């Protein structure tokens, strides 16, 4: 096919002649018409994902009271936020929980309310109780502040998620003989169930596995509004084993995302209480893939049969960072409801919502078709497999002790 440019695609969007398919629809089309022919026709493929993404949070500037305060410690609805930035800026992380939450002292903890829920309440327009302490200075004399805030009274609220959209993820199982409560859900003993957490064939980074179109600055659907890829995500690890299409076989790339929370909706940002683990935030993300050439199209039309995930034991291998992989399964097998691990048939469950992922890909498709969303060229590419970049572990060094 003749190569396309982002500019050409944007012209088509403005004229209303752009051809956009979701990452699911395009699989069907490629099967029927062949990759070469289908690639000629399709300008954009939209992806989507909706699941708990623990490395998420918000930056708030709540405005200056009279007299002013330079807060050093701050809480929102009793959930501690980070106050070590300027006077009235704060960062609230999705997994923060109130100091008086019983957590896992009454195992498995319920984790009824935390950072993820504050974010959901804020985006819903609810009042949030802000409590702040400062030590008092000549320019910021106030030492204590207690007030309600909501999304309309504060200056900025920016969703800034250091790590979202994991490119592929583990399938969690439990080889031990007791039920375990993990961030991958409740795992019944002796391979009782296998939990996975990826939209597979709809998932953004699985459809642009070599980061050919998604990069720093890419405009995206984030939490129901428009956001951007800010950087590569923390633990971005592109140099991992991949299949013939370049799709990683284990968790690999990640994205740091940013956007204005005021545009977003509680439909796509949901606080999650994960039994025995803690609080998280389910985030809805959709990313368009411009079909610039046939290779990009081929990868964007990869199906669940072509994408595999590693099965990992969360009773021992995961917590103790052993690299043992029990099996490799396809997303098609995972979605069939049952996989085989160590000769045993194991029922599967998903933590990420395929149904919602599809809804997001469809919304983004409509935005583009209606001319409301233009595509962007990355300002900077993400480090790819050739960068050799890999997540580093934390090797524990003993504190320095002076020998006598």
Partner 1 sequence: MKARLVLRFPPLLVDQPVVYKLIKDYNLVFNILRADITPDSEGLMVLEIEGDENDFKQGLEYLEKRGVKVQPLSQDVVMIEELCTHCGACVVHCPTGALYYDEERRVLFASEKCVACEICVEICPYRAMEVRLE
| Binding site residues, partner 1, CB under 8 A | 50-52, 185-186, 188, 193, 195, 270-275, 280, 282, 335, 337, 347-356, 358
Residues 6+ apart with CB under 8 A from 403: none
Whichever of 111 and 232 has its CB closer to partner 1, that residue is: 111
Joined together, the tokens standing for residue 72 give 């050093």
What is the Cα–Cα distance from 33 to 271, expressed in whole angstroms?
Answer: 42
Whichever of 195 and 218 has its CB closer to partner 1, that residue is: 195
C-beta of 85: minimal distance to partner 1 in Å? 30
CA quadruple 304, 305, 308, 314: dihedral sign:
positive
Whichever of 84 and 102 has its CB closer to partner 1, that residue is: 102
Q: Cis omega (within 30 of 0) on the bond before 50?
A: no
Q: How far is CA 33 from CA 28, 37, 173, in A?
A: 9, 6, 39
Whichever of 57 and 385 has its CB closer to partner 1, that residue is: 57
C-beta of 265: minimal distance to partner 1 in Å? 13
Whichever of 95 and 213 has its CB closer to partner 1, that residue is: 95
C-beta of 269: minimal distance to partner 1 in Å? 11
Nearest to 302 by CA among 356, 249, 245: 245
Taking a C-beta distance cutoff of 8 angstroms, is the pair 201, 209 a contact? Answer: no
C-beta of 27: minimal distance to partner 1 in Å? 15
Is 54 considered catalytic here? no
List 54, 139, 197, 394, catalytic entry: 139
3-state per-residue secondary structure call for 312-329: EECCCCCCCCCCCCCEEE
* CA 209 to the chain's CA centroid: 16
Joined together, the tokens standing for residue 296 give 């990009």
What is the Cα–Cα distance from 324 to 183, expressed in whole angstroms?
Answer: 19
Any idea which residues carry the catalytic annotation? 139
């Amino acid at each position: 096919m003749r190569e396309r440019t982002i500019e050409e695609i944007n012209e088509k969007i403005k004229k209303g002649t752009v051809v956009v398919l979701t990452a699911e629809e395009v699989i069907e089309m490629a099967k029927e018409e062949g990759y070469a022919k289908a690639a000629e026709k399709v300008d954009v493929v939209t992806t989507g994902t909706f699941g708990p993404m623990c490395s998420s949070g918000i930056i708030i500037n709540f405005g200056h009271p009279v007299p002013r305060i330079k807060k050093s410690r701050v809480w929102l609805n009793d959930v501690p936020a980070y106050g070590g930035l300027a006077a009235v800026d704060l960062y609230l992380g999705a997994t923060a929980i109130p100091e008086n939450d019983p957590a896992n002292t009454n195992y498995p903890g319920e984790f009824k309310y935390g950072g993820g829920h504050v974010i959901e309440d804020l985006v819903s327009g609810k009042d949030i109780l802000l409590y702040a302490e400062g030590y008092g200075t000549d320019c910021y004399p106030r030492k204590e502040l207690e007030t309600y805030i909501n999304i309309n009274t504060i200056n900025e609220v920016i969703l800034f998620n250091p790590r979202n959209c994991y490119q592929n993820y583990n399938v969690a199982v439990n080889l031990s003989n007791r039920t375990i409560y993990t961030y991958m859900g409740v795992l019944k003993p002796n391979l009782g169930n296998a939990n996975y957490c990826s939209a597979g064939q709809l998932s953004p980074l699985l459809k642009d596995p070599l980061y050919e179109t998604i990069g720093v600055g890419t405009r995206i659907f984030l939490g129901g509004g428009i956001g951007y890829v800010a950087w590569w995500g923390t633990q971005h690890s592109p140099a991992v084993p991949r299949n013939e299409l370049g799709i990683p076989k284990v968790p690999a790339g990640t994205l740091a995302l940013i956007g204005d929370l005021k545009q977003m909706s509680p439909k796509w940002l949901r606080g999650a209480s994960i039994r025995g683990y803690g609080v998280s935030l389910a985030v809805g993300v959709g990313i368009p893939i411009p079909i610039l050439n046939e290779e990009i199209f081929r990868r964007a039309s990869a199906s669940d049969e072509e994408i595999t995930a590693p099965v990992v034991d969360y009773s021992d291998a995961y917590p103790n960072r052993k690299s043992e992989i029990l099996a490799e399964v396809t997303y098609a097998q995972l979605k069939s409801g049952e996989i085989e691990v160590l000769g045993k048939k194991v029922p599967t469950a998903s933590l990420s919502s395929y149904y919602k992922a599809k809804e997001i890909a469809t919304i983004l498709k409509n935005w583009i078709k209606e001319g409301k969303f233009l595509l962007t060229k990355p300002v900077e590419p993400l480090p790819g497999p050739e960068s050799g970049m890999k997540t580093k572990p934390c090797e524990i060094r003993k504190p320095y002790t002076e020998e006598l």
